[in-house]
Amino acid sequence: MKALIAATTILCSSAVMAQDCNMNIKGHMTLNHSNLTLKLDDNRSLLLDGHSARLNGNAMNLDADQLYLLNSYHQKVETLAPKVANLALDAVSLANEGINRAFNELLGEDNDLVADLSAEIENLRGKLTTEFYAQDGSIRFDSARFEDGEFLGEDFEKEFEQRIESLVQRSMGSLMIALGKEMLFSGGDMKAFEARMESFGAQLEADMEAKADDIEAKAEVLCVDLRALDRLESEINDEIPALANLDMIKVSASSQSM
């Protein structure tokens, strides 16, 4: 059963970003058609479009350096949003590949379980896509869609795992029949079957880990970018008195990485 175990462990790659660093969004942040709106702790609203800044609808009186800081903040958020989206989508695709290969090996090609699993994963992928991309293809983001301000954290991973576990449980009959057929065709030689599955599982795990390493490398770069955004907020706090309470992004090392 090593092949099944290997495929299941690939689900953890969906939370690869959370393993490297935890990002929490305090308050409400939206990005829509290049307009970035931040709801500050005191209920004031800051609108950035990459060229100007408006606080509660009024243009802010800023010098060149202050405006540069806010334009940089806008640019960083606009650049990071698709990176986060693509990282999550890559992880979902990797999980789909691992699961498909594992169950196809056990149940044969074009089995109903793989079709159902793929449909569930594609539904999740579609949900992620609509969270980050508008119909016209432009990037968008609304922090209100993420509970407790946590960005693609445990809730996302749990939903992913629950969907897969539910389908596997409903398909245990098919799995047991497949195991029975393997034993029958191998003349009852369970050791030969286990040896074949061990070999397949080892190869699958190696292939998936290599691809997961690529995703993790992207996550590490993303984490560095997020920390830079967090530091930029602190700089804005110091340089722009009217935004001394701007504190939307919090990045911390996860317990797994410490």
Q: Three-state SS for 53?
A: strand
Give the phi and the psi of residue 21 in degrees, each rounded to 5: -160, 155
When mean pLDDT is compared across 103-107, 172-176, 226-230, the lowest value belongs to 172-176
Q: What is the pLDDT of residues 191-245, one digit of tens each?
A: 766 777 777 777 777 888 888 888 888 888 888 898 999 999 999 999 999 999 8
CA distance 95 to 102: 11
For 106, the token pair is 């056990």
Average confidence score pLDDT of the chain:
77
CA distance 221 to 100: 29
CA distance 45 to 21: 28
Q: In what order do the strands lie in the sheet with 53-55?
A: 58-59, 53-55, 45-48, 35-39, 28-32, 140-142
Q: What is the pLDDT of residues 28-73, one digit of tens each?
A: 889 998 999 999 888 899 999 999 999 999 999 999 999 999 999 9
Residue 53's alpha-carbon distances to 28, 48, 71, 76, in angstroms, are 17, 5, 8, 15
Cβ burial of 230 (10 Å; 0-12, 13-18, 19+) is middle
More confidently predicted of 21 and 117: 117
How many CB atoms are located within 10 Å of the residue 258 CB?
Answer: 6
In terms of average pLDDT, the best of 128-137, 153-162, 183-192 is 128-137
For helices 64-107 and 2-9, give the axis angle rounded to 10 degrees: 170
